[in-house]
Structure 1
């Protein structure tokens, strides 16, 4: 995982488990001179008794809509680094930005996005995320996703309009991009029907035809002005 992606993690409030050697044991001398010391030490050590795992969080501690959240279930057992590597090979976004962008869409309310709920329950919501996030970190990841999408869009349109690609090459680019996008949606648990896929492809093709036509018109105007 990239170093700059870990700086916004809220790990400071989540210390690791107490070591068994630090569980409140009392030495023989203090126990002998103070009989109550052994009893009080035993009571204090019950919260972290060596060899006994800490109790799992109860379902009551997790919001109901978080319990029922079903996206990303196809990725149970996936590691963050593997997901991140896949995305970096095919997109500009990271696994962190992908997951949080989807969560921000699903947990949007009339008054905004439930940043706190997303951050506090991130490991329960997304299998490959292991840390909780602050609301500020959630917002940062969402903003980064939006910025990258806008930048990628501008880059693509410029490439389409500057006459660098032929019409056939642009079709290939669009096909590859569509396949990656469809795969990500399927991993999220979105079931696309054949009709929906064809409709989406037709909308994209229509936009690309308009882009090519506009590009050709611009080049013709430039040629006329030069002549």
Structure 2
């Protein structure tokens, strides 16, 4: 796909491998279920899948990952992010299967192998919730780490631009693999929001350093 090798085909292998995350609990029944909403879909679901909910049959995320191995996906993410393949998949599913009354965790857990090609086991609602919480915690921790690095004068402005470029490319690749179709306008808007935040971080960092110098001179 590009010079960094961000291509979904890198996840494929000769033999399917099992999910290497800790074994989830057997699928349960209690969750935050609500009425299902519309899912990104494909036409004509297989009539033989009578036991699979219709919105699960129509779910079209991760179709570019058909044939992908969990370990390869996990390795890719480990090299570039804090999250695991399990956390990535479940975070997306929790976003897509969110209703007015909550997240359909039972549906996600019971149909996980049908929803995500590289996931091979069903999960209990508790295991889904645990993965979702882990994803959220890691995002917050990574955000704090990045902002500290940006504000502590360790990186130059040019180096921070490089960090943001690399992070943006990885994020865009993951969205593309999920099947998110970002328009040029949406991509430019996201980049502008990031640039605005970065300018504010730099300005705040410079103000802090100026105040610190003034205090030390006094």
TM-score normalized with structure 1 length: 0.77
- Per-residue deviation, 1:199: 1.3
Question: In 2, distance between residues paired with 1:226 and 1:86?
Answer: 46
2:61 aligns with: 71
Q: How does 1:1-227 map to 2 (within 5 A)?
A: 5-10=21-26, 58-227=48-217
- Per-residue deviation, 1:114: 0.5
Question: In 1, distance between residues paired with 2:202 and 2:118?
Answer: 40
Question: In 2, distance between residues paired with 1:2 and 1:167?
Answer: 40
Tell me how large the CA RMSD over aligned residues is.
Answer: 1.9
Question: In 2, distance between residues paired with 1:182 and 1:202?
Answer: 15
Large movers: runs of 4+ above 6 Å = none
Gaps of 5+ in 1: 12-56
Count how many residue pairs are aligned between Structure 1 and Structure 2.
183
Gaps of 5+ in 2: 1-17, 28-46
Question: In 1, distance between residues paired with 2:174 and 2:198?
Answer: 22
| 3-state SS of paired residue (2:68) | coil
Question: Could you say which structure has the greater relative contact order, defined with CA pairs below 8 angstroms and 6 or more residues apart?
Answer: 2
Largest Rg, 1 or 2: 1
| 3-state SS of paired residue (2:170) | helix
Q: Looking at secondary structure, tell me which structure has more helix per residue.
A: 1
